[in-house]
């Protein structure tokens, strides 16, 4: 993702202009992170880049089915913990992108992997594990699929509660559809992982959806199609108002496009967000 030398040089200049945030102060209401796949780093080296980008934390993916989900391995978890400590960047959450292609709604092995993901999340000191339900795992318009994942969540939620981990349910469902699933599972360990870009793509009123979901939201992905943040469809000042309305405190993760390269666009996106989510 970081291809052009000129973009890299410009990014380093921008990095020098803005002081890195690193690990945010404990009293900061909002922390700004990024997904490791969005910055093009799927291993422990992502923490060094996150520091260069001035991020507070990193959302790390468990890895692919082809590689047997490497973050399940103790030695890989230790490498991540060591890198996080070295560069002063938090492990903000763990993601299971693998569930897009090996869905919870249809593949029994995915439930076993989710158990491993809960354990890895606990070991890494993170509080949220993202369960992605897109692509082959798409649930919109698939009531049998929704029913199936609901049953999986009923089994997994007590295990997540015991581990001190929240299951973050990310999907293309509307806020009312998500709330229906949460009501059936009835566990504080199951919440919605809300992506303002995905929901905008679906035509939802994200400002009202955030208010409707309220404290059932565990974390956010921030993106806006192919736009830099603030240059597209989403009014992030109104997003801030919605977050204030539900008294949200926590992580805002960049999963945004970077047409000029990560070293250029992610510090710019970070500074844009920090201007709105400043305290």
> What's the CATH number where 91 sits?
3.20.20.150
208: helix, strand or coil: helix
Angle (CA) 165-166-169 rounded to 5° is 145
Closest Cα to residue 182, out of 159, 140, 149? 149
DSSP three-state, residue 51: helix
Tokens matching residue 215: 């404290």
Give me 5's structure tokens.
Answer: 């030398």
What is the pTM for the complete model shown?
Answer: 0.90
β-sheet bridge partners, residue 167: 129, 190
Q: How far apart, in Å, are the Cα atoms of 121 and each of 35, 126, 168?
A: 15, 5, 12
Kindly report, residue by residue over 95-136, the tens digit of the pLDDT.
999 999 999 999 999 999 999 999 999 999 999 999 999 999
Per-residue model confidence as pLDDT tens digits over 230-275: 999 999 999 999 999 999 999 999 999 999 999 999 999 999 999 9
Domain count, the chain: 1
Instruction: Supply the range of the domain harboring residue 13.
Output: 5-276
Q: Round to whole Å and give the CA distance between 10 and 13.
A: 5
Provide the angle, in degrees to the nearest 10, between the axes of the packed helices 236-245 and 206-213: 20
């Amino acid at each position: 993702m970081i291809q052009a030398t000129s973009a890299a040089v410009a990014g380093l200049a921008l990095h020098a202009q803005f002081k890195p945030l690193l690990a945010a102060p404990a009293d900061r209401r909002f922390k700004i992170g990024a997904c490791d796949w969005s910055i093009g780093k799927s291993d422990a080296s992502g923490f060094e880049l996150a520091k260069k980008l001035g991020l507070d934390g990193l959302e790390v993916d468990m890895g692919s089915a082809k590689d047997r989900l490497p973050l399940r391995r103790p030695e890989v978890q230790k490498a991540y913990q060591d890198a996080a400590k070295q560069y002063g960047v938090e492990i903000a959450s763990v993601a299971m992108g693998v569930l897009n292609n090996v869905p919870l709604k249809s593949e029994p092995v995915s439930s076993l992997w989710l158990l491993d993901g809960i354990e890895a999340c606990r070991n890494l000191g993170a509080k949220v594990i993202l369960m992605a339900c897109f692509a082959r795992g798409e649930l919109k318009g698939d009531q049998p699929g929704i029913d199936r994942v609901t049953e999986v969540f009923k089994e997994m939620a007590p295990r997540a509660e015991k581990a001190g981990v929240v299951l973050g349910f990310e999907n293309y469902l509307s806020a009312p559809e998500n709330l229906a699933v949460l009501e059936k599972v009835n566990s504080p360990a199951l919440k919605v992982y809300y992506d303002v870009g995905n929901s905008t793509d679906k035509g939802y009123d994200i400002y009202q959806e955030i208010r409707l979901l309220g404290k059932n939201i565990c974390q956010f992905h921030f993106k806006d199609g192919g736009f830099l943040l603030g240059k597209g469809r989403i009014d992030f000042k109104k997003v801030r108002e919605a977050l204030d309305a539900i008294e949200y405190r926590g992580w805002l993760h960049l999963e945004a496009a970077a047409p000029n390269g990560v070293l250029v666009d992610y510090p710019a996106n970070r500074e844009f967000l920090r201007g709105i989510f400043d305290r």
